[in-house]
Amino acid sequence: MLALRLYVAVLTLMFLLASVMTTGVGVLHAIVVVCAPLYLIIDVRQELRGLREFEVRVSSLSKLIDSCC
């Protein structure tokens, strides 16, 4: 997942750089440049939510193992 996020970030930066150097940033360019970071933010938030749920499961399992031993 990290590789995909880096790939999207680099593509966004390259697109922004290319559009600024050639024609300037128009409405369509701005939409593309804004949507890619928003996608990355939403993707990271979902992954963090999944990691929190995993942490809770591991914690409860650890407590169960400690109480049995």
Average pLDDT over residues 46-50: 89
The helix, strand and coil proportions of the chain, stated in percent and rounded to the nearest 5, come to 90, 0, 10
**Counted domains in the chain:** 1
pLDDT(67) > 70: yes
Q: Taking a C-beta distance cutoff of 8 angstroms, is the pair 43, 51 a contact? A: no
Predicted structure pTM score: 0.57
- Average pLDDT value over all residues in the chain: 83
Q: What is the rounded (10 degree) CA torsion for 39, 42, 44, 48?
A: -170
**In terms of residue numbers, what domain contains 25?**
2-68
What is the spatial distance between Cα 5 and Cα 11, in angstroms, rounded to a whole number?
Answer: 10
Residue type, 33: V
Quick one: pLDDT at residue 53?
Answer: 92
Residues 6+ apart with CB under 8 A from 11: 36
What is the average per-residue pLDDT within 8-20? Answer: 82
